[in-house]
Amino acid sequence: MKVERIDYQAGKVAANGALIYDDKVTGKRPLLLVSPNWLGVSDESIERVKRMAGNKYIAFVADMYGAGKVSKGPPEAAELANGLRADAPERRRRITAALEALRKESSSRGIGDLSKQAAAGFCFGGGNVLELARSGADIKAVICLHGDLKTSLPSKAGDIKAAICVMHGAADPAVPKADRDAFETEMEASGAKWQMTVFGHLLHSFTEEESDVPGIAKFDPGAARQCFKMIDDFATAAFDGKL
């Protein structure tokens, strides 16, 4: 797998993301934008996206903080992520810029199929890709894994073009049921094509091995395997017009 670090401008910051693809494969492939958790463009996030891309996708790891910053841990990550959570317009500018970087870099290499574009995000990153969808991005699918569901800029009827898939833990203390209910109300009012799978008893970050925090986040290997398959299944169905 080839990993190329890419500089691009994202809202107020000079960003550095990662373009990931199998350079032994020829031909154009679908685009998959991935927004990592609140730690940023970490080694773990890059390894995860390498597995997600495989020989099927041209993937890009979005840098939401600038300069490819990787947080030192939860206190710093919370400060960085909460700053963007409080500024939805800037949050949207940064994730949109990452999508544009993926489009540009894959096109310039002749490897991207721009008719097939999807975005997936984990935790804070899940909220980022939902903001991308709410902004009206012209992509086929958005997949949010145990992500932020609340927004200060809820979508209105007709805003969302992408089909949306949310995967969530029923016992997630970071994003509780009240947030799921509010998200459902928003999606129904928006007229979006959407679905949510709730995994019983699971906490936050259940698809990420490195994110365990007692009582808050816990990796679940079975659910993780299922979710990664669902990402590909949902994106493929959206590309093929079968949702």
Q: In Å, how far are 88, 109, 162 from 179, measured between CA atoms?
A: 17, 41, 21
What pLDDT sits at residue 74? 87
Where in the sequence is the domain holding 40, given as residue range(s)? 2-239
Phi then psi for 147, rounded to 5 degrees? Answer: -110, 175
What pLDDT sits at residue 199? 98
* Domains identified in the chain, total number: 1
SS3 letters for 168-180? EECCCCCCCHHHH
CATH of the domain at 213: 3.40.50.1820
Full-model pTM = 0.97
C-alpha 40/C-alpha 62 separation (Å) is 8
What's the token pair of residue 243?
A: 């949702």
Mean pLDDT per 10-residue segment, the chain (243 residues): 98 97 96 97 97 98 97 92 97 98 98 98 98 98 98 97 98 97 98 98 95 92 98 98 95
What pLDDT sits at residue 211? 81
What's the token pair of residue 59?
A: 């993937």
Q: Which residues contact 149 (CB under 8 A, 6 or more apart)?
A: 127, 130, 166, 168, 175, 179, 180, 182, 183
C-alpha 79/C-alpha 59 separation (Å) is 27
Give 212's Cβ-side CA count (13 Å radius): 7
Please report which helix (H) or strand (E) contains residue 9, including its range: strand 2-10
Buried/exposed 196-225: b ≥16 CB within 10 Å, e otherwise: eeebeebbbbbbbeebeeeeebbbbeebee
What pLDDT sits at residue 72? 87
What's the token pair of residue 153?
A: 């800029």
